[in-house]
Amino acid sequence: MAQNIYDDADFFSGYSGLRRSITGLGGMPEWPTMRAMVGTVTDKRVVDLGCGFGWFSRWAAAAGASSVVGIDLSDNMLARALADTEDTRISYERQDLETLVLPASFDIAYSALTLHYVEHLGELLRTLYEALSAGGRFVFSVEHPIYTAPSSPGFIADEAGNQVWPIDRYLDEGQRTTDWLTPGVIKQHRTIGTYLAELRSARFDLVDLIEWGPTAEQIDLAPNWRTERDRPPFLLVSADKR
């Protein structure tokens, strides 16, 4: 059973106050890149894994998807997603991605910043592969492995005063317990090589892998994003079913 930290009252309160929780896709600087990776959703059947507040689910329906299923473990997240959704093409389900059951009826699968919470990624990818139609696409983002690896993630100043991001335990994959919004948040660290190997093992064909960082234009608009070029915060991946 996965940790359901988004149903912890303190965590949920902190998460709800984050910029991207308030502004949605417009507050996600990596969204334009992910949107391009998803491509057209017109008349497609879409599943949104770890849908959270449902920002992507609503975007997909508005962009012409024929149906969207948003899946999440958290009652808190699903309650807000439901409250914010009027489109009858969208439905939400409470499921744990560790034991996901899906009908074979999707053309596009999407998951933003959720799979680094999932321990049994290989099983999930195999379930997803079976649920996608031939030629179907899976697009996901995760916290970059450089971000998830360290025992104590955080920037420090080196002797010259430069900001650096110390890495340890990069090849020591598995659970990390960090303090983010509340103490004791469990994430799963895996290397880029493992993400690729798991996709290949599930028979997906890699389309794109992007170590995302903000552009100069984005930094001009939000100077606090400059620091994200010192270590990429997100890994973005798209893969197709043969």
Ligand X SMILES: C[S@@+](CC[C@H](N)C(=O)[O-])C[C@H]1O[C@@H](n2cnc3c(N)ncnc32)[C@H](O)[C@@H]1O
214 lies in the site for ligand X, by CB under 6 A = no
The correct pick among 67, 74, 85, 238 for binding ligand X (CB under 6 A) is 74
Q: Is 176 helix (H, G, I), strand (E, B) or coil?
A: strand
At residue 241, what is the residue type? Answer: K
Residues 122-161 that bind ligand X (CB under 6 A): none
Do 36 and 236 contact (CB within 8 A), yes or no?
A: no
The span of 112-120, 132-140, 211-219, 225-233 binding ligand X (CB under 6 A) equals 112-120
Q: How many CA atoms lie within 13 A of 52 on its CB side?
A: 17
Close Cβ partners of 223 (under 8 Å, ≥ 6 residues apart): none
The correct pick among 87, 93, 96, 240 for binding ligand X (CB under 6 A) is 96
Do 1 and 120 contact (CB within 8 A), yes or no?
A: no
Closer CB to ligand X, 184 or 223, in the complex: 184
The least distance separating ligand X from the CB of residue 74, rounded to whole angstroms, comes to: 3
Name the phi and psi angles at 53, rounded to 5.
-75, 0
Print the binding letters for residues 4-33 with ligand X: x by CB under 6 A, - otherwise: --x---------------------------
User: Positive or negative CA dihedral for 4, 50, 70, 204?
Assistant: negative
Do 241 and 125 contact (CB within 8 A), yes or no?
A: no
Do 235 and 212 contact (CB within 8 A), yes or no?
A: yes
The correct pick among 77, 132, 146, 199 for binding ligand X (CB under 6 A) is 77
The least distance separating ligand X from the CB of residue 57, rounded to whole angstroms, comes to: 9
Take residue 191 and report the two structure tokens written for it. 């290397």
Close Cβ partners of 120 (under 8 Å, ≥ 6 residues apart): 98
The correct pick among 12, 59, 92, 117 for binding ligand X (CB under 6 A) is 117
The least distance separating ligand X from the CB of residue 134, rounded to whole angstroms, comes to: 26
Q: What angle do CA 60, 240, 175 make, to 5 degrees?
A: 85
The least distance separating ligand X from the CB of residue 11, rounded to whole angstroms, comes to: 10
Closer CB to ligand X, 25 or 196, in the complex: 25
Residues 36-55 that bind ligand X (CB under 6 A): 50-53, 55
Closer CB to ligand X, 61 or 112, in the complex: 112
Give dist(CA 53, CA 79) in Å, integer. 8
Residue facing ligand X at closest CB distance = 52
The correct pick among 2, 181, 192, 210 for binding ligand X (CB under 6 A) is 2
The position carrying tokens 């009858």 is 88
The correct pick among 34, 38, 108, 118 for binding ligand X (CB under 6 A) is 118
Chain contacts with ligand X (rule: CB under 6 A): 2, 6, 50-53, 55, 72-74, 77, 96-98, 112-114, 117-118
